[in-house]
Amino acid sequence: MWYMKVSLGWLEGATRVISHNFDDRPDEDDISLIVIHSISLPPGEFGGDSIDQLFTNCLPANAHPYFDTIRHLRVSAHVLIRRDGRVIQYVPFHKRAWHAGVSTYLGRSCCNDFAIGIELEGTEEVTYTDTQYEQLIALTGSLLRSYPRLSRRAIVGHSEIAPGRKTDPGASFDWARFHSLLTVRGVSADPRFDRSCEF
């Protein structure tokens, strides 16, 4: 699926799991950064409903010892891409999801104000799947076309905006492959001037 249509802040065709962990952006027109994260719950395990439960504030503390240490968190990315390529959206893009925490990008703090957060189900040691890359490329291309202040130059890992605090998506994320696939799919550095390839 090369093209994901964005309508009123939602991806058409994505599964919606509504999170309440968001609020209004200071400026809905200032969506100018994409942040790539990784997550697995319990750590190192894939599948199940634990990520959905974390992002919707209903993680059962007694289901795993680790859960009791994080169940107080009020967090959510905008989107999760599962290992099998399934795309789940929790927060509409024009709202401020709580994914970046204390963060800075090019001198601007509070990245949640202007960023879209994308979680990849995975770890910093395990290679992400081919399907995840393909879905991430489709999603990224659609976001670049939907939000004019976004640019290929402003796609970063969580580690880049919170150095010393966060390390995801980690060495297992192949940035060269990601950017190469964007190029192959016809996504230029500024998508407003490259409409030659639809997703």
pLDDT digits (tens, 9 = 90+) for 33-91: 999 999 999 999 999 999 999 999 999 989 999 999 998 999 999 999 999 999 999 99
Residue 130 near residue 122 (C-beta atoms within 8 A): no
Based on the residue annotation, tell me whether 119 is a catalytic residue of this protein: yes
| Mean pLDDT of the chain, nearest integer | 93
Judge whether 49 lies within some domain.
yes
Asked if residue 138 belongs to a domain, the reply is yes
Q: For residue 90, which amino acid is it?
A: Y
Question: What is the chain's Cα-based Rg?
Answer: 16
Q: Which structure tokens are listed for 140? A: 């990224």
For residue 191, being part of any structural domain is answered with no
Contact between 95 and 103 under an 8 Å Cβ cutoff? The reply is no
pTM of the model: 0.93
Give domain status of residue 158, yes or no.
Answer: yes
Q: Cα 183 to the chain's mean position, in Å?
A: 20
- pLDDT > 70? residue 2: no
Residue 51 lies inside a defined structural domain of this protein: yes
**pLDDT at residue 197, rounded to an integer:** 35
pLDDT at 151: 94
Strand 79-81 vs strand 115-121: parallel, antiparallel, or unpaired?
parallel
Banded model confidence at residue 10, pLDDT cuts 50, 70, 90: very high
190 inside domain: no
More confident residue, 97 or 186: 97
The SS3 of residue 50 is helix
Q: What average pLDDT score do residues 108-134 get?
A: 98
How many domains is the chain built from? 1
Q: Tell me, what's the pLDDT at 189? A: 53
Range of the domain at 179: 6-183
CATH code for position 104: 3.40.80.10
Active-site pick, 45, 119, 160, 198:
119
| Mean pLDDT within 162-170 | 97
199, part of any domain: no
Looking at residues 183-193, what average pLDDT do you find?
65
How confident is residue 191, by pLDDT bands cut at 50, 70 and 90?
very low
